[in-house]
């Protein structure tokens, strides 16, 4: 038995919790010693319960203090700080070479329609649609802005992937996507660097690369922000086809973002503008209390 | 005569009482998260015995429409749960407390007897030891469950960067199922734990707050006559009936 070698726990009666135990147990029943030990024990017990109760109250007070802090984007500030810390930790650990699992195309399913913010324009005309991209311009310089038609995007190298779309609500669906990697787009149109140099490889970004990318719908009702690391990941697509068909209006035609590195909330539909920046872009759901990073 | 016997070291009491509110709030915020996609049930085919959770349950505890808050709290408290758990395991490893907590080859047989005893089906006295076999199995399992919650939690929190872990656990959706099932396990643990603490009585409960128990010993032989005890068992066999 494992306990055979364990020395017995203190068995000596004590007259006070901190005093040294008396040399040995009295051989005969010693009523006075017993009474003293019990008095000391109840004093010690009372003290322990008081301290435990006080610590409990202090914890409750700390909790209430936390909740009383001013809110930052729908969250008490200390909570927001921890979420941002978690996000930074994730970004530090991030590696471009770690890929989301890909699945057999036959496993792709119909994707639930789950959000219409930014799709509300009555007279939206997909044929007249243009993607506006604002290049990265350090403070004080005028940004280069360029507009693209869908055809200009479709002639860029096409990438297909069958990945798991994960909604922040907790459900997930395997979907087959087709589009242009954002990093491939930036090879053709080097708008993410201040110098206008192309990003050859997302794993080794140049020093003058923007830190963030912000994207909005044409009506600016929906907007997301991504840190540049996720944006340049090889599975981040400017997507125009879903499960073999051109995107439908409700899934973001003519062009949407797809990235298995992020929850569905970052898969902005009906892209209007893309801007490369040094300032963390606004994010629709992050302003409503969600994690800005929302990344995998 | 009655003597004071040390039972739970201060560190163990500290880990225990930090873990209790933290795990409770992890479960609470987890419910806020789970509500947003509450797809689990017990049943087969189109037969559902129990749905996690009935609408009335959400309404009674105001669990609806709190996904953002739930995620925020979950991803803050996870640090406390993790750090407290790691410190507990390190403490038990280095202090030697693990000797009382880890099951042995005798624990499983003893756990059956303890269960039968608690159900009134086994009348002989149970072993006199700090933790009996059933407790050793329960307290070790719950630590392994904690590890399981951390790992499945990471697998659904960062399924790309920790993709190897997610794959190891059967994929994103399976990891979420396990994460949920473990939480149900904590609730079951809690129910049994509380009922056993109530049964065991004040002396036992006080030990988790103040650290000691008061036991009746024979002044001549020092043999424990009554009371749960912090003494290690002499051997794995069931101890003889107390003399008192």
CB contact under 8 A, A3 and B96: no
Residue A27 is predicted with a pLDDT of 55
**Residue that is last in its domain, among A51, A68, A85:** A68
Residue B242 is predicted with a pLDDT of 43
Contact criterion met (CB below 8 Å) for A175 and A111: yes
CB contact under 8 A, A90 and B3: no
CB contact under 8 A, B161 and A296: yes
Task: Judge if A208 and A274 occupy the same domain.
Answer: yes
Distances (CA, A) of A46 to A39, A51, B207, B208, B209: 11, 9, 12, 13, 10
* β-strand pairing of A237-242 with A256-258: antiparallel
The answer to whether B55 faces chain A, any CB pair under 8 Å, is: no
Report the SS3 class of residue A112: coil
Chain B contacts of A288, Cβ < 8 Å?
Answer: 68
The answer to whether A40 faces chain B, any CB pair under 8 Å, is: yes
Residue A210 is predicted with a pLDDT of 95
Chain A contacts of B172, Cβ < 8 Å?
Answer: 164, 166, 172
Exposure on the CB side of residue A192, measured as CA atoms within 13 A: 28
Residue B55 is predicted with a pLDDT of 94
Report the SS3 class of residue A72: strand
CATH number for the domain that contains residue B166 = 1.20.950.20
Task: Judge if A63 and A89 occupy the same domain.
Answer: no
Task: Judge if A272 and A141 occupy the same domain.
Answer: yes
Tally of domains within chain A: 2
> Nearest Cβ partner of A86 from B75, B163, B176?
B75
CB contact under 8 A, A41 and B76: no
Q: Identify the closest residue of chain A to B9 by CA–CA distance.
A: A9
Range of the domain at A8: 1-68
Residue A134 is predicted with a pLDDT of 96
Task: Judge if A57 and A82 occupy the same domain.
Answer: no
- For residue A104, give both structure tokens: 């057999």
Mean pLDDT per 10-residue segment, chain B (244 residues): 90 97 97 96 93 94 94 97 98 94 92 90 81 94 98 97 96 97 97 93 93 86 65 38 41
* Within-domain flag for B229: no
Chain B contacts of A3, Cβ < 8 Å?
Answer: 99-100, 129, 232-234
Task: Judge if A250 and A112 occupy the same domain.
Answer: yes
* Within-domain flag for A296: no
Residue B124 is predicted with a pLDDT of 83
> Nearest Cβ partner of B68 from A10, A78, A290?
A290
Q: Which residues of chain A fall below pLDDT 50? A: 1-23, 26
Exposure on the CB side of residue A157, measured as CA atoms within 13 A: 11
């Amino acid at each position: 038995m494992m306990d055979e070698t364990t020395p017995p726990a203190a068995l000596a009666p004590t007259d006070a919790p901190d005093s040294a135990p008396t040399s040995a147990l009295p051989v005969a029943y010693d009523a006075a010693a017993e009474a003293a030990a019990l008095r000391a024990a109840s004093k010690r017990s009372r003290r322990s319960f008081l301290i435990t109760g006080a610590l409990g109250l202090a914890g409750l007070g700390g909790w209430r203090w936390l909740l009383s802090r001013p809110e930052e984007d729908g969250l008490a500030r200390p909570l927001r700080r921890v979420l941002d810390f978690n996000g930074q930790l994730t970004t530090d650990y991030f590696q471009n070479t770690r890929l989301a699992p890909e699945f057999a195309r036959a496993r792709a399913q119909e994707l639930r329609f789950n959000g219409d913010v930014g799709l509300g324009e009555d007279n939206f005309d997909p044929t007249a649609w243009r993607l506006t991209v604002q290049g990265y311009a350090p403070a004080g310089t005028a940004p280069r802005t360029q507009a693209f038609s869908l055809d200009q995007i479709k002639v860029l190298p096409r990438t297909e992937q069958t990945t798991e779309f994960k909604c922040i609500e907790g459900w997930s669906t395997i979907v087959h996507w087709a589009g242009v990697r954002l990093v491939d787009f930036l090879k053709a149109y080097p708008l993410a660097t201040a110098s206008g140099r192309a990003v050859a490889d997302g794993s080794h970004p140049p020093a003058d690369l923007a830190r963030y990318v912000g994207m909005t719908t044409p009506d600016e009702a929906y907007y997301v922000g991504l840190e540049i690391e996720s944006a340049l990941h090889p599975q981040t697509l400017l997507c125009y086809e879903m499960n073999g068909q051109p995107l439908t209006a409700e899934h973001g035609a003519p062009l949407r973002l797809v990235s298995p590195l992020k929850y569905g909330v970052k898969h902005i539909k009906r892209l209007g503008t893309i801007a490369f920046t040094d300032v963390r872009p606004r994010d629709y759901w992050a302003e409503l209390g969600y994690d800005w990073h929302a990344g995998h | 005569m009655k003597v004071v016997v040390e039972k739970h070291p201060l560190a163990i009491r500290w880990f225990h009482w930090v873990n209790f509110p933290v795990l409770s709030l992890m479960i609470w915020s987890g419910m806020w998260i789970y509500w947003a996609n509450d797809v689990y049930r017990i049943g087969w085919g189109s037969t559902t015995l129990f749905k996690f959770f009935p609408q009335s349950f959400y309404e009674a505890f105001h669990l609806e429409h709190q996904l953002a808050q739930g995620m925020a709290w979950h991803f803050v408290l996870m640090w406390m749960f993790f750090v407290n758990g790691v410190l507990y395991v390190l403490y038990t490893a280095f202090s030697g407390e693990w000797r009382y907590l880890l099951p042995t080859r005798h624990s499983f047989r003893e756990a059956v007897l303890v269960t039968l005893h608690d159900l009134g089906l086994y009348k002989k006295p149970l072993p006199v030891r700090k933790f009996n076999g059933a407790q050793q199995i329960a307290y070790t399992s719950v630590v392994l469950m904690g590890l399981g919650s951390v790992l499945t939690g990471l697998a659904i929190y960062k399924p790309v960067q920790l993709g190897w872990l997610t794959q190891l656990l059967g994929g994103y959706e399976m990891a979420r199922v396990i994460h949920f099932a473990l939480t149900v396990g904590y609730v079951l643990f809690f129910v049994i734990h509380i009922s056993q603490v109530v049964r065991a009585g004040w002396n036992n409960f006080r030990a988790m707050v103040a650290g000691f128990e008061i036991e009746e010993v024979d002044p001549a032989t020092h043999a424990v006559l009554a009371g749960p005890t912090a003494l290690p068992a002499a051997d794995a066999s069931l101890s003889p009936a107390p003399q008192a």
